[in-house]
Amino acid sequence: MLSSSVPQLVSVMTTARLHMGFLDLNGGLGRKFGSIGLSLDQPATRIDARRAEGFDAVGPGAQRALACAGHFAERAGLSGGAHLTLHAAIPEHAGLGSGTQMALAVGAALTKLYELPLTLSDIAALTERGARSGIGIGAFAQGGLLVDGGRGANTVVPPVISRMDFPSQWRVLLIFDAAALGVHGGQEVEAFRNLPEFPAATSAELCRRVLMQALPAVAEQNLLAFGEAIHEIQCQVGDHFAAAQGGGRYTSPAVAQVLEWLRAAGVGCVGQSSWGPTGFAVLESDYAAQCVLGELEKKYAGYGGLSFLLCKARNQGSEVQVKYENNCVDTASAVD
């Protein structure tokens, strides 16, 4: 039930996403990039925002949240401030979309707190998110398995052109390397600038893999076929990015070793999210995932900065809750 009183507290919860690969780095048809990705149920970013005269922030990721708030306020012409309390934050520079989710969470919180007439696309544009991929924005809005259509000459935010529920019984195993960082910021911009030309025939093959293999496989809950499609995308895109990733298909040699072991053990759907270093594997059930996790924890105990997290897909978007001065509470899945 909507309230006419003034919002006093806005709480936003949003989660990590996997970026499983770009589809058309050639751009010969007038659109470039395009990508496939998956919203996860964890790790999460959780923010509370209350009105204040200026901006301040406390908790994990506070400095990044504060920078996002200042940038958003300047671009949106917002004169008020906010006290931001962060209860959790997605790990930074791990390939899980932490920057986009933080920017959108802060932007959504301030939009609701000050009742600004902004859509999620507006917030994404104001926070300069979606430069190359719409997966993070789609994950914030609706979750699930997502495909975006890349950027055309006049694209503001890459449009999500396919969205599907991911099978609830499948599990996603994340492989972290605390000793490595993914390519980000200016380094990422420079990496894209220096990439060699991507063959049009390879782009065509990857798009075919998505349309005629990955998406039907999810519809029919065929993990083997889905894994084949994702593995091919990972091989082609990872090898294309190798020069920017230290010479390998994957950013972290330690994660690469785990992914090789998983493939040898019969796990077909493995890869690196975005620029990494985080790797992932998709398994057919909780039981299978727990067995694999147990083997990995024994095999790689004390191995460098490696750690593991078992999670699921999230088939819904972010959670935005608004509490008013009369104690009424409105809850939505994302900004309307």
How do residues 3-20 score in pLDDT, each as one tens digit? Answer: 458 899 999 999 999 999
Pick the CATH number of 167-312 from 3.30.450.40, 3.40.50.920, 3.30.70.890, 3.30.200.20: 3.30.70.890
What is the SS3 string spanning 35-102? EEEEEEEEEEEEEEEEEECCEEEECCCHHHHHHHHHHHHHHHCCCCEEEEEEEECCCCCCCCCHHHHH
Q: Each residue of 148-182: pLDDT tens digit?
A: 999 999 998 999 999 999 999 999 999 999 988 77
Domains 1-165+313-336 and 167-312 share a fold: no
Q: Residue 70: count other Cβ atoms within 10 Å of its Cβ.
A: 15
Domain residue ranges of the chain, discontinuous segments joined by +: 1-165+313-336, 167-312
Q: Can you tell me the mean pLDDT for 193-221?
A: 95
Report the alpha-carbon distance of residue 120 to residue 262 in Å, rounded.
Answer: 38
Q: Each residue of 33-85: pLDDT tens digit?
A: 999 999 999 999 999 999 999 999 999 999 999 999 999 999 999 999 999 99
Cα-flanking dihedrals φ and ψ of residue 179, to 5°? -90, 0
Report the alpha-carbon distance of residue 123 to residue 37 in Å, rounded.
Answer: 21
Q: Each residue of 265-281: pLDDT tens digit?
A: 999 999 999 989 999 99
Cα-flanking dihedrals φ and ψ of residue 230, to 5°? -65, -40
Using an 8 Å Cβ cutoff, are 235 and 221 in contact?
A: no
pTM for this prediction? 0.93
Helix (H) or strand (E) holding 241: none
End-to-end CA distance of the chain: 15
CB contact burial 159-192 (16+ within 10 A = b; e otherwise): bbebbbebbeebbbbbbbbeebbbbbeeebeebe
Q: Quick check: bond before 277 cis, omega within 30?
A: yes
> Tell me: domain 1-165+313-336, CATH 1.10.10.1590, correct?
no
